[in-house]
Chains A and B, each alone.
Chain A
Amino acid sequence: MAPASESTVQCREVSVEVFEQGAGRPVVFLHSGEGLAHCGPFLDGLARSGRVIAPSHPGFGHTALPPAFRHVDDLAYFHLDLLDQLGLEDVVLVGASFGGWIAQEMAIRSTARIGHLVLIDALGVRHSTDETAVEIADLFALHPDEVARRSWVEPQRWQRSATQMSDDELLVAARNRESLSLFAWMPCMVNPRLRRWLHRIDVPTLVLWGEADQIATVDYGRACAAAIPGAVFQLIAGAAHYPGVEQPAAVASEIVRFAGLPACVPASGAVLAGASAQAAF
């Protein structure tokens, strides 16, 4: 496996951090509102079968939030620009939670560089016509312990207190949450118009869902899959809202199988012993 690297990439005057690992077909991962925290083993697993590229979203991680960015559209167009700039073809586009919302916004606009789409507990779509129905738990207005309980099968394992985090990790977490609130405050975590355009997604799509997700339930996940032509729905056992974190091997293998990636790509360069993804954003 090619060694992991992190760099800052500038695309049309907007800088983001890009984590990269592995070789072969590009697998672009769009992170959740939590950034890449805890995603190391999952990206490690994917990088055995492809070239994993995980950009931060503008305003997340350490890079600046562009003042003109206000809506998820801005993030979708940015990431499409980034695919263009990197010259990526036949991308396996993987989006988790908030990143899954961005991935859908990209795919309704252009799949020219996308070969497969994988949505993991993806948010962003409003299905219900009942104005008072809560389809996605309000991450901003619920008690933090309640958010953790809904997000994880093992909240005590993944929910970190400030004492367990470095100053830099605290800052990145606060920046991520600030940017998430800019894009997802209201309407909360959805674009009410997105569902209307999901028919435009014309690439094979896999919808993975943590069977214990209480941020957006399995029923919501099934409705998401039903709204995308030909989408395949697959439950992940032992996971809630972040299956890539709680069940990294299972999620990676589902993606590898669905996208037809090789089980293992021979390393093109020297393999760093023990190199593993420890992305910071």
Chain B
Amino acid sequence: MRVWQFTEQPYHPVWDAVPGPLKNILPNGHIDPRIAADLYDQYLDQWQMCDDLGINILINEHHATATSMSASCTLPLAVLARTTKKVRLMSLGIPIANRPDPVRVAEEIAMIDCYSRGRFEMGFVRGAQYEVFAAMGDPVTQTRRFGEAYRLILKALTSHDAPFDWQGEFFQYRGVNIWPRCYQDPHPPVWMVSIGAGPGAWIGEQRARVATFLTGRDSKKLFDAYRRRWIELGWGMAPPEQFGYMAMVAVADTEAEAKRRAWHIAGYTRTQTRLAPQFNNPPGYTPARFVALDQRLRTDPAYVAESRTVQRSDGSRVPLYDATIDDLIDAHVVFAGTADQVFEQVRAYNRHVGGVGNLLMMGQGGDLSHADTVDSLQRFSRDVLPRLQELRVDDYEPAKASVQPIAA
């Protein structure tokens, strides 16, 4: 199992200083750029340290939000491509449906892949629903734009004999001819993200790797849909390397200390709801029939929106953004404790989903301090990471029974 360190690079000092929404409408006058610079230093130092800890590097991006200062995932990856030497570097991801210029994206990918001498993995995301407000493209055609941008980027990365023209529905170019080209041949591995199971089959068809975030037991449905599609296409059992799972992770010398750290990291989930309602369901981002159904269900005071809950071991569900750390550990959303405990928690999740080859670790989140983050990462590297290699193929066996093609 490969492990990746992730932080949203939050600007957390403002979280308790202002009431209400943190995304889209909180003016950036609330930022002290000197504090921002210090935080960037800490986050980059944490990633840099991972080069010696054997932990890979994962960076995402968000816009106009105090929950993340990562307005570009390629910028910090370019920095780290130069200063690290060993570990792999993943963007997860670049919101290509929101970017006006996919060819520029391809150029940046090729540069980072050369800087890092082939250590880059390229993840593309649709982006969270509130991101469409900071982007120009309408949410209704976002999925189509994603598909066209993806095809264009792949073609730009793999065309080496002559410039090509592109006359698409959303993008038009003459003479696409990116310099440089990727270090890896034909191109860096592709990653995509889904929270629900719906896109699993399509992502499987692309042979892209698929990642899911904080979904706990529900991630099995996504991975199974992916595996089922591979079997239908005659490609055999998709190996664990194709799957990634993001959890919040904290290791300490005592369980109590690890849970304290996890609680700080989970400031990430507690701030997700600090969003003005008009940014919650942009028209077209979710199909109208689901928007209508959601509105109907919300008229029932007892209704808890499914998308914001995770499943406990007893089958009950708990709101992700309002759960205790014990609940989140039980739901496989947080892996926290002593090194032994964390290993057992990862192993239990791995068994449940039928094998996952990449642990995308939110090792820093919320206002977890730099010192706590460093200590947790060092303990993980020393005391957990080697044991993850013990996870056997046997652990993946349960997957096979559940992904046989549905009989005609």
Residues in A lying within 8 Å of B, measured CB to CB: 70, 140-144, 161-163, 167, 170-171, 173-175, 177-182, 185-186
Contacts and interface: CB of A to CB of B under 8 A. Distances in A.
A143 B141 contact: no
B244 interface: no
Interface string B287-315: 11101100110110000000000000000
17 contacts: A143-B276, A143-B278, A144-B277, A162-B295, A162-B296, A162-B298, A167-B296, A171-B288, A178-B284, A178-B288, A179-B140, A180-B283, A181-B138, A181-B282, A182-B141, A186-B136, A186-B138
Contacts of A167: 292, 296
B133 interface: yes
A176 to B, nearest CB: 9
Given A174-B295, A178-B287, A179-B140, 12 more contacts: A70-B141, A141-B278, A161-B299, A162-B298, A162-B299, A163-B299, A174-B291, A180-B283, A182-B140, A182-B141, A185-B140, A186-B136
A136 B287 CA distance: 26
A185 B145 CA distance: 15
Contacts, number: 65
Interface residues of B, number: 24
The prevalent SS among residues of A at the interface is: helix
A177 B289 CA distance: 12
A70 B284 CA distance: 13
Contacts of A142: 278
B139 interface: yes
A182 B277 CA distance: 20
Contacts of A174: 283, 288-289, 291-292, 295
A160 B170 CA distance: 36
Contacts of A171: 288-289, 292
B147 to A, nearest CB: 13
B77 to A, nearest CB: 29
Given A182-B284, A185-B139, A170 B278 contact: no
Contacts of B298: 162
Interface string B102-140: 000000000000000000000000000000010011111
B283 A177 contact: yes
